[in-house]
Amino acid sequence: MIAAAPSRPSRSRLASRKALPVSKLCSDRSARLAELRQRRASLFAREIDYIPCRQFLKADAEKLATIPPNAAAEPLRRAVVPPASDGSTPYIASLYQTRLLTKDEEQFYFRRMNWLKFRASTSRGRLDPRRASLRQIEQVERVLADADNVQKILITSNLRLVVSIAKKFIDPSWSFDELTSEGNLALMRAVEKFNFALGNRFSTYATYAIQRHFYRLSHRGRQFRKRFTSGDESLRDQIEETESAEYCSTEQIAWLKDLFSGFLEELEPRERRIVVARFGFDGKPPRTFRELGVQMGVCKERIRQIQGRAMDKLKELASEARLEQTVGDWL
């Protein structure tokens, strides 16, 4: 007896079997395309800010930004005991585990961070926002990730600076923890804006930037207390005492003195003499128009005219130096 041949599957059943993997493949392809479009949009929407430097265009730019100084061989994290009298919190104690950078290390890391961002920005500029491949996108993303890692090194090694400055600005409006948090943000912005090519130490630039941010916070706190303080006499006394405090640092006062000395040098000798005498810049009591007129052999109205001309020059010099904006930023 001959066995019956096995029945062959119908065309509809074969079609259904083939349809499943094809639809799955289409679904996977659509997902990959959607992910690629999202990666493109994310990459081209990202701001890549860096400090331009002519060194980046030279042949040895990559070498300078890749080979670290000898001091970088020492680990950044090490066991350092904070000062015993500091009363340090666990957070402050952890900051002492990261050593400070040397000047050569600092220059190298800032050069490397900005060079990596420059390279990423240049590479991205060559890509088509609608046709960039996944491989091209990943190459740029790797360079940006390296730049972010270097930036973290610069931020972490300078966090102690924020703490030391924040301790001087504690007031009823801002606690130490709040100031530290705000100071860290100012430090991050300073790392991005610091021009390493000038050869200055970052701590000098960062100290000014952090202090300026704290001065703004202090001014905001004073305005808030003025507006919302009740009629309590003791609270009003506290505000008046705070208002009488000095809100300019020694460095800022020295900068203002140097700036104004330069302004005076721009005046004519007679104008400079009258301004110095009228406002007591020579350490003596301010003199009247009449007194100066007698000393210089002219009438007091002439002294008034010369002073007016000198004040116009000083206002113009202050405007060119953007003095009002600078002092406003401090406050």
- Residues 331, 326: Cα–Cα separation, whole Å: 9
- Answer with the one of 128, 157, 186 that is the final residue of a domain: 157
Same-domain status, 178 and 279: no
Q: Angle at Cα 271 formed by Cα 260 and Cα 266, nearest 5°?
A: 45
Tokens of 127: 């890509």
The whole-number average pLDDT for the span 138-150 is 95
Is the residue at 27 inside a domain? no
The whole-number average pLDDT for the span 177-197 is 92
Q: Which residues of 188-203 are buried (b: 16+ CB within 10 A; e: fewer)?
A: eebbeebebbeeeebe
Residue 85 above 50 pLDDT? Answer: no
Q: Which of 151, 145, 192 is nearest to 51 (CA)?
A: 192
Determine the pLDDT at residue 253.
76
Same-domain status, 54 and 86: yes
Same-domain status, 232 and 187: yes
CA distance readout (Å), 206 to 51, 108, 220 = 16, 17, 21
Determine the pLDDT at residue 115.
94
- Answer with the one of 228, 247, 266 that is the final residue of a domain: 247
Is the residue at 21 inside a domain? no
Same-domain status, 179 and 261: no
- Residues 70, 108: Cα–Cα separation, whole Å: 11
In whole numbers, what is the pLDDT of the chain averaged over residues? 81
Is the residue at 234 inside a domain? yes
Same-domain status, 243 and 255: no
- Ramachandran angles phi, psi of 248, nearest 5°: -115, 135
Higher pLDDT, 214 or 80: 214
Residue 116 above 80 pLDDT? Answer: yes
Q: Kindly give, in sequence order, each residue whose CB lies less than 8 Å from that of residue 129, ignoring residues fewer than 6 positions away.
A: 40, 44
Is the residue at 12 inside a domain? no
Torsional sign, CA 279, 284, 289, 295? negative
- 249: confidence class by pLDDT, cuts 50, 70, 90: low
Is the residue at 13 inside a domain? no
What CATH number did the domain enclosing 278 receive? 1.10.10.10
- Residues 146, 16: Cα–Cα separation, whole Å: 49
Residue recorded with tokens 């630039």: 205
Domain range for 147: 33-157
Higher pLDDT, 240 or 174: 174
Neighbours of 173 (CB within 10 A): 18
- Answer with the one of 218, 247, 276 that is the final residue of a domain: 247
Same-domain status, 240 and 255: no
Determine the pLDDT at residue 59.
87
Is the residue at 3 inside a domain? no
Q: Which of 4-13, 119-128, 188-197 has the lowest mean pLDDT?
A: 4-13
Number of domains in the chain: 3
- pTM of the shown model: 0.62
Is the residue at 11 inside a domain? no
Same-domain status, 104 and 214: no
Determine the pLDDT at residue 183.
94
Q: Are 154 and 113 in contact (CB under 8 A)?
A: yes
Same-domain status, 153 and 229: no
| β-sheet bridge partners, residue 98 | 77
Same-domain status, 138 and 171: no
Determine the pLDDT at residue 243.
46
Q: Which of 223, 233, 231, 158 is nearest to 191 (CA)?
A: 158
Is the residue at 80 inside a domain? yes
CA distance readout (Å), 207 to 97, 179, 184, 252, 293 = 21, 14, 12, 11, 46
Tokens of 148: 């972010």
Tokens of 325: 């904006």
pLDDT tens for 14-34 read: 455 455 566 666 778 888 898
pLDDT tens for 250-287 read: 667 777 787 888 888 888 999 999 988 888 888 888 88
- Residues 140, 138: Cα–Cα separation, whole Å: 5
